[in-house]
Structure 1
């Protein structure tokens, strides 16, 4: 399986610019890429209270529709973030878009302090079957809380995809966290971060990474824009769980209602 990490700078509140960069990356992706992953809220950037209502869109809005059209044309899949407007309630959301449409929607459950009061936190973790692999999405600060990745692991996740908007001086925190989350759940973890400066003076740390189920870094980006393809050897999932299986061996399970859907999605509702 070939994953393409799209580490880009963005413009806060400039949907036209960010969408253009997104479509360009999809149009120029490698011919055999299976999945492209973009940073947190890449389509809208980070927005303040004054901008939010005018910039955020529903998931069936024009911006994601444009992404869906090109995804179908290129026959690839994409994970990308957006400020979601759901009937006047706002979420920091990332979606898995396939040629068949939106296969997975995840609303960030652990909001960074500056997001509180702007966004509502999500109320569930969710995984979906994609190309025979069970995938789940987390967003930025989520990975600093081990229960987030464990919730996906409890739902059977084999590939944890993280849209990231991590800034200086916290780059080393997420480097450590993504390795730990992969190892303790014996799953691949792919984290794609933003680079450059934001409108509010934040400097984004880059450092997008791919980690195998043993917790070993397979690829790590620097602080510049890049579009990097990494091949995942899915046999490593079995190898990592051959001698011991953390999820089977644990004695404490997360609480919450688990739902099974006919389309293959699994959800764990936060109690």
Structure 2
């Protein structure tokens, strides 16, 4: 399976600019690429309390529709984040897995970083879906610093964990360590794509997008500049990693929460209130 990691700078609040670069990057993917992954809130950038209502869009909003159209034209799946305006009047930090057929998976960030609080509402569930015969889950940025986030996806059968990331200095090494641990603990591939460049409030995004195999070993690691990394995932290696032992099978307790399985193949773990 060929995956492309598109590590980009973004403009907070400039939806038109971010969307144009996203669409350009999708159309630049190789014809045999099956999945392209972008950073956290790629389409909108990070909002403020002052502009969140203006830049956030619903799941069926114009930016997501444009990405869906590009996915159909390119026959590729896209993991992309944005500030979501939900029907309940709340705002969520959301990442979608968009396929040529439509939205396969939606995840809203459950662990809010300091700058997310007061702007976004935390999500209330983890989820995986079946995609090209692989069970895929999504987490976002700060989520990966909590082992339970990735373990929830593992408990839902994840074989590939996608991380849309917006990690800044000085925390780059933290996420490098975390992504290796989360992949190893769940014997799954992990694909993490971070932002680069300057942001608002003197932030500098750390880059370091990476792919980690089910043994916790780095396959690909980017630097601090804009780039496109292409990697082939060998799922025979995943089977090998689970052949002699299974952390999930041998764990002594399961995470609490209501498990739901939908006809679409989506599995959810609802976080207890």
TM-score per shorter chain, which class?
over 0.9
**C-alpha distance after superposition, 1:110-142 (max 9, x if no partner):** 000121111000000000000000000000000
1:44 match: 44
Instruction: Give me the whole-angstrom Cα distance separating, in 1, the residues matched to 2:77 and 2:202.
Output: 32
Instruction: Give me the whole-angstrom Cα distance separating, in 1, the residues matched to 2:30 and 2:73.
Output: 14
Instruction: Give me the whole-angstrom Cα distance separating, in 2, the residues matched to 1:186 and 1:136.
Output: 13
Instruction: Give me the whole-angstrom Cα distance separating, in 2, the residues matched to 1:180 and 1:68.
Output: 32
2:58 match: 58
Instruction: Give me the whole-angstrom Cα distance separating, in 1, the residues matched to 2:70 and 2:122.
Output: 30
**How far 1:45 moved relative to its partner?**
0.2
1:73 match: 73
1:167-178 paired onto structure 2 within 5 Å? 167-178=168-179
1:90 match: 91
Q: What stretches of structure 1 of length at least 5 have no aligned partner?
A: none
Alignment of 1:255 with 2:264, yes or no, is no
1:241-252 paired onto structure 2 within 5 Å? 241-252=242-253
Q: What stretches of structure 2 of length at least 5 have no aligned partner?
A: none
Q: Calculate the aligned-residue CA RMSD, in Å.
A: 0.5
Instruction: Give me the whole-angstrom Cα distance separating, in 1, the residues matched to 2:27 and 2:14.
Output: 20
SS of structure 2 residue aligned to 1:200:
helix
**How far 1:199 moved relative to its partner?**
2.1
Instruction: Give me the whole-angstrom Cα distance separating, in 2, the residues matched to 1:187 and 1:84.
Output: 28
Tell me the number of residue pairs that the alignment of Structure 1 and Structure 2 aligns: 271
TM-score norm. by structure 1 comes to 0.99
SS of structure 2 residue aligned to 1:190:
strand
SS of structure 2 residue aligned to 1:16:
helix
Alignment of 1:28 with 2:28, yes or no, is yes
Instruction: Give me the whole-angstrom Cα distance separating, in 1, the residues matched to 2:41 and 2:130.
Output: 23
1:1-271 paired onto structure 2 within 5 Å? 1-87=1-87, 88-271=89-272
**How far 1:40 moved relative to its partner?**
0.2
Which stretches of structure 1, 4 residues or longer, exceed 6 Å deviation after superposition? none
Instruction: Give me the whole-angstrom Cα distance separating, in 2, the residues matched to 1:263 and 1:253.
Output: 24
Instruction: Give me the whole-angstrom Cα distance separating, in 2, the residues matched to 1:106 and 1:47.
Output: 18
**C-alpha distance after superposition, 1:187-245 (max 9, x if no partner):** 00000000000022100000000000000000000000011110000001110011110
Instruction: Give me the whole-angstrom Cα distance separating, in 1, the residues matched to 2:200 and 2:234.
Output: 39
SS of structure 1 residue aligned to 2:63:
helix
**How far 1:258 moved relative to its partner?**
0.3
